[in-house]
Amino acid sequence: MDLLDTLVAKGLNRELPTREEALAVLATADDDLLDVVAAAGKVRRKWFGRRVKLNYLVNLKSGLCPEDCNYCSQRLGSKAEILKYTWLKPEEAAQAATAGVAGGAKRVCLVASGRGPTDRDIDRVTDTIAAIKDADPGVEICACLGLLSDNQAERLAAAGVDAYNHNLNTSEATYGDITTTHTYADRVDTVQKAHGAGLSACSGLIAGMGETAEDLVDVVFALRELGSDSVPVNFLIPFEGTPLAKEWNLTPQHCLRILAMVRFVHPDTEVRIAGGREVHLRSLQPLGLHIANSIFLGDYLTSEGQAGQADLDMIKDAGFEVEGQGEATMPRHRSEYAEQFAGGCGTSGGCGSPADTSGAAPADGCGGHAGGACGPCGEPAQATAQASPDADDLREDLVRVRRRGAGTELAPNA
């Protein structure tokens, strides 16, 4: 296919595809799926070889959130029967993190529900980071605490946080349909605060909420412009008791097309298959490893993933290897860029404009970027170029609420 040849050539040269090319990837036929995966795989191997980075989630505070994000099982008004608990003690969180590291995780992601942290919350996280680092000084720490206020990102950086996660989730145009208690601009501001403090920006999307193909392309391009170093691609987990419980819009094939589109737009960026991998990719998960270079190990915040050992077996059987703590995730040119310009925009992966592949600093710095957020809108059939699953094909049985690990007395899945 001429399209795929063009996208591979651009990806190998760190060139941005056009919006039309990105949309065309999402519209490819199932008959061409393996060709799409193979093309994205060439780009992935160019910049990341056959390494797979493992990340491990620790839910520091579950449920009880005042925000009304329609996709979230922890939202205000959620009737999902998830675990609910307030802040874990530092030693409890460190114990959970240690299990993930022992299972092969290179990065531990500390997550807490809520609009954003108070100064006291930052103190709690600081104590937790110290406990984790005492057990394993080499582990990467990513924090995900919601909207940041002034100077909080700097405090987290001083405490040993390496990255900050705050997803844009969907296009700016549809964000108001999915959340009313904060704005798309609020999310962009938090990513920029993390950049400014020298934290690596981890920001991604959620697919499957009823968005259009144009929405998906919009948010993926916005993440490129925002300078995200790692892009988690979440597939909606339709929890019973949330407004999007009936949104089963994805097929395994279309999930792979979405991952490929993200890889072509972010050729040398860490692309992570995040929440919903087991629910929507199912038996095609190993093909996703040919596109993405990063996954979560074990369970998620409020849902169970497949067994941690099954993740490790899948990686090995697919011909990949787990990335070690001593290995750099990002290609050298991105690391050098980060070091050179850390005193300016503060990004870890470069925040140049989408068309900039030279490694030069952007003329206008980091300010003024628009971001994306989350929200269903439009006509899914037109947007995704796929038929919605029949009612008999819906797999609600795959949505399993987490009942082990952090916040419980049961051993974590790692």
Q: How far apart are CA 269 and CA 59, in angstroms?
A: 25
Closest C-alpha among 48, 159, 67, 73 to residue 110: 159
Q: At residue 11, what is the residue type?
A: G
Positions annotated as catalytic residues are: 65, 69, 72, 109, 142, 202, 272
- Classified as helix, coil or strand, 285 is helix
Whether residue 210 contacts residue 247, with contact meaning beta carbons closer than 8 Å, is answered with: yes
Count the neighbouring beta carbons within 10 Å of the beta carbon of residue 13: 10
Q: Are strands 200-202 and 205-207 parallel, antiparallel or unpaired?
A: unpaired
Residues ≥6 apart with Cβ < 8 Å to 190:
116, 146, 147, 148, 164, 166
The SS3 call for residue 384 is helix
What type of residue sits at position 266?
H
- The answer to whether 164 touches 142, Cβ cutoff 8 Å, is yes
**Pairwise CA distance, residues 51 & 212, whole Å:** 32
